[in-house]
Amino acid sequence: MSGQRIATVARAVAAGRVTPKAEKVDLTREPGWCLAFVRRIVELGLEYPDGAFYARFGTERVERAPGPPGGAWWARDLERSMRNAGLAVPLDDAGQDGDLLFNWKAAPSAHGVYIGHVGILLDAKAGLVLENVDARYRRFSLTRGAVALTPRERFPVTTAIRIPESPSPS
């Protein structure tokens, strides 16, 4: 099951055994990279090549105001893309390890446009979400660098996504 494979890598990251990196940024140390953090965990768990997450699931961009270049994916973009692809599960049903939990109403840019936020349901029974976030925004989380374990009830969600089992893209 793809969710279990994603959750296995996420648990290793939470334990400090895997450091997902994207380009020159250490995603376990630098906050503000939630989507890149989740992308690398999904790609490692599903054995996708680097960047395949965006190529496979990124289909729609949220309207852009002046700000980041069109090439930068936002969590809000992937939330919309994956929801419109039929991968959303009812929020009451978002309870499987490896589910991606999005909140499009988080993290406004300097131009007032919401970029969004995403985390991974690490352990459904314990109700823990793994995320990349600045510790000052997570008083109720266990944090190490930019990695936080947040209680599910403290993690606002607008869409829950379950990635289906499918062949690895090449």
Q: At 119, which amino acid appears?
A: G
Residue 66: per-residue pLDDT: 55
Q: Has this prediction a pTM greater than 0.85?
A: yes
Question: Whose CA is closest to 132, among 66, 12, 49, 36?
Answer: 36
The pLDDT tens digits along the chain (170 residues) read 899 999 999 999 999 898 777 666 788 888 889 999 999 999 999 999 988 999 999 998 887 655 555 667 899 999 999 999 999 998 877 689 999 999 999 988 777 888 899 999 998 889 999 999 999 988 899 999 999 999 999 999 999 999 988 755 65
Tokens of 124: 């459904």
Tokens of 80: 């919309």
For residue 103, the SS3 value is: strand
- How far apart, in whole angstroms, are the C-alpha atoms of residue 168 and residue 155? 30
Q: At 1, which amino acid appears?
A: M
Residue 67: per-residue pLDDT: 54
